[in-house]
Amino acid sequence: MKLVSIELHNFRQFVGTQEIAFADADDRNVTLIYGANGGGKTTLLNAFTWVLYGHTSPDFEQKDHLVTDSVWDDAAPGASLETSVSLSFEHNEIRYQLKRKVITRKEGGRQQPPQTESVRLDSMEPNGAWKTQKAHGECIDQILPTELSQFFFFNGERIERLVHRDAYEDIQRAIKTLLGLEQYEVALKYMPEVSKRLRAELRKLGSTQATSIVSEQDEVRDAIERLREEQQRLTSEVRHHEDEVEVVEAKLRANAPSAQLQKRRDEQERAYAAAKEREARARELRAGLLARQAYKIWLAQLLPDVEKEAIELRERGQLPSPLKRQFVDDLLANGECICGTPLRTGEAPHDHVERWRAKAGLAEVEGAWQQLQGRAQDVRAAAADLPERLRQANADIATAAEDARQAGAIVSDVSAQILKLPRENGQELERRRAALAQRLQDLRFRIHDIERELKELTEREGTLSKKLAKVELTDIQSAKIRRRIEVNDLAYAAIQSMYDAACEFVRARLDRKIREVFSRISVKSFNPELNSSFELQLWKGEGDDRFPAPKSTGENQLLSLSFIGALVALCKERSVEGNGSTILGRLGGMYPIVMDAPFGNLDTTYREQIARALPAMAPQVVVFTSLAQAEGVVAEELEGRVGAKYVVSIRTTKADVEHDSIALDGSSFDYVVPSAEADHATIEKVR
């Protein structure tokens, strides 16, 4: 989707017709729009989602209040007022013109919701003629599904919510949308119902044994479904409480009396996590030694007896070195092997011994024995070394456990110290944190129990399915129904496996791209991750020695932007790969990034990093910002990539504000104009 232009007509504070034409050159792909706080930047951002989907963001106040106030106030009672937004764009080399229009009838002084709404989407044919798309909603959904729009049109000050655990469902939904897995989800939703109906039919027609098995199977499956619903609900609650804990701890860090204590707790919690990880690795190593090496201790004790037996056999001539042909001939002539087995012509033992005549003189038996002796030495060495390795593993477990105990004790002590602070200095925050921690512990215990119960029930369900498959059914109809149940359940398992594999494929691909984008825009050596739970995380260190990185607002924003940049890059690759792509979905193409207030509450370093990164993150970038946010390093970084520049000029009826102007490209533009006849805003083009 390449944005061409947007036109607003009497939309919110923008009076009359206001238009923006977007930059789209490869080397100047940034459109920069300046506006004072409260001047209309958020309105411009919401104009995109409103024209595309008919809705605005959750933080957009008075959603049905669409007509410009000054236009409403000047209109006569009973007048019908038109408000519209038109968006011109291109997608996959097709030009589109979208217009959403509402009519609001004035009935009283207060603005009412619109009475009628109409949407028209036209596309340009190859011959240059315009064609109206009847199913405009489906067409827009094919170009940019609403589930993905939040990642391309967003408020920069709120984009860091993507790093919170509550956002994982949005990220997971984006991946599913990217894959186009709607048909899979429909199948996975209804196939269990099909199986349930078939089992109900079988209960009516089947034998007493089949009826009993199916009834128990239904009870087990219902229990599994209830547990999974509870698991999902509790997991969501855990994420919510974990985010709350992070918010509380951030407040404790920002609160001067508790800041140093919270910092110490952060350090000790990381130390505790690292110690528990070391302990787990040491326990795993010890378990592996016992499972794979312990038998060698007992085997080593048997080796002297084996060697003694071999020497005695050799001394008796029953194990000569090298093996002689005459020895084999004598065995065959006597009709008895050295082990006592009869050797009769035509039988397998006779043929087996006779084959050794060809090997006689090759010393293969002696070679095999020598090889066994070599392995015996390895067994002795391993048996001798194993006690020391086990002692070291036990020592590592004990050390790690003690480190974890000490870190835990310090964490508890820090909590006690914060609770001793005056109420206004962190005591209430600490009480809230403790309550959340206790609730999290209870939730995790319950989730652990659910996982155990699910495992037991799943195994029971599998056993019942096998029993049902073995039940003898005499009538043809019952046998057919049972076969349909089996096929339906197998198909469900196959589709679920394909669904999971597809999600994991795109998650892993996005994870790689997030790392690539983050490494380009961050000055710190942190490692981002989109984990298997679809959570955005940031780590310090690598491998077993990594631990969660302390994240500031700037780090959260960089991490969130990295995800968006990765999503844009993946959509671009999808368009290049075409229908033969290993990504299963239909979505692909070039998509813009349109963001409001990306430089919000960031320090100079992060502003510079984000300003430098934005132009390279998407083929087209639109930024709404205030002069205060964009001045200095931001303007310097963006200037070389800005292809279009506008100013939102505010006209206010207030007289007690100062006139403000903005100097851009050698000219002066009104920024805030007091003592106007009506409150409204206009858009002035700079370049």
More confident residue, 239 or 667: 667
List of E strands, 241-388: none
* Highest mean pLDDT pick, 422-426, 442-446, 514-518: 442-446
| Domain assignment present for 124 | yes
72 and 29 within one domain: yes
Cα(488)–Cα(567) distance, integer angstroms: 35
| Domain assignment present for 322 | no
| Domain assignment present for 177 | yes
Q: What is the model's pLDDT at position 318?
A: 55
pLDDT at 148 > cutoff 90:
no
| Domain assignment present for 331 | no
574 and 621 within one domain: no
- Of 590, 607, 626, the residue that ends a domain is 590
For residues 432-445, give the mean pLDDT. Answer: 93
Kindly state the percentage of the chain with pLDDT values over 70.
90
Task: Look at the block and give the residue holding tokens 């593993």.
Answer: 393
630 and 555 within one domain: no
Least confident of 9-13, 102-106, 280-284, 301-305: 301-305
Model confidence at 28, pLDDT cuts 50, 70, 90, reads very high
| Domain assignment present for 626 | yes
191 and 66 within one domain: no
Instruction: Residue 565: give the domain boundaries.
Output: 158-200+477-590
For residues 113-142, give the mean pLDDT. Answer: 89
Q: What is the model's pLDDT at position 90?
A: 92
Using alpha carbons, list the distances in angstroms from residue 80 to 72, 75, 77, 100, 114: 10, 9, 9, 16, 10
Q: What is the model's pLDDT at position 649?
A: 92
DSSP codes joined into one string, 549-565: PP--HHHHHHHHHHHHH
Least confident of 227-236, 238-247, 434-443: 238-247
For residues 342-360, give the mean pLDDT. Answer: 81
Q: What is the model's pLDDT at position 576?
A: 67
598 and 577 within one domain: no
186 and 106 within one domain: no
- Of 544, 572, 590, the residue that ends a domain is 590
More confident residue, 376 or 341: 341
Least confident of 119-133, 164-178, 298-312: 164-178
Residues 588-647: tens digit of each pLDDT: 678 899 988 777 667 778 788 888 888 888 889 999 988 888 778 888 888 899 999 999
Backbone angles phi, psi at 273, to 5 degrees: -65, -40
Between the CA atoms of 607, 611, 617 and 623, what dihedral angle is there, to the nearest 10 degrees? 100
Model confidence at 369, pLDDT cuts 50, 70, 90, reads low
The model's pTM? 0.70
Q: In the chain, how many domains are there? A: 2
More confident residue, 425 or 466: 466
Q: What is the model's pLDDT at position 367?
A: 62
Between the CA atoms of 108, 110, 113 and 118, what dihedral angle is there, to the nearest 10 degrees? 70
- Of 574, 590, 606, the residue that ends a domain is 590
Q: What is the model's pLDDT at position 601?
A: 65
94, 125 Cβ separation under 8 angstroms: no
660 and 558 within one domain: no
Q: What is the model's pLDDT at position 487?
A: 93
Kindly state the percentage of the chain with pLDDT values over 90.
29
Using alpha carbons, list the distances in angstroms from residue 642 to 19, 31, 231, 272, 630: 18, 6, 49, 49, 13
- What is the chain's mean pLDDT, rounded? 85
The CATH number of residue 488's host domain is 1.20.1050
611 and 532 within one domain: no
Burial of 609 (0-12, 13-18, 19+ CB in 10 A): buried
671, 5 Cβ separation under 8 angstroms: no
618 and 548 within one domain: no
Could you tell me the maximum CA-CA distance found in the chain, to the nearest angstrom? 127
Residues 531-581: tens digit of each pLDDT: 887 788 888 877 767 777 776 777 888 888 888 888 888 888 776 665 544
Residues 270-322: tens digit of each pLDDT: 889 889 988 999 999 999 888 888 888 878 888 788 777 777 766 665 555 55
| Domain assignment present for 354 | no
192 and 86 within one domain: no
| Domain assignment present for 530 | yes
The CATH number of residue 58's host domain is 3.40.50.300
24 and 92 within one domain: yes
| Domain assignment present for 62 | yes
Cα(60)–Cα(63) distance, integer angstroms: 6
DSSP codes joined into one string, 132-168: E-S-HHHHHHHHS-HHHHTTTEEETTTGGGGGSGGGH
For residues 341-361, give the mean pLDDT. Answer: 80
58, 154 Cβ separation under 8 angstroms: no
596 and 675 within one domain: yes
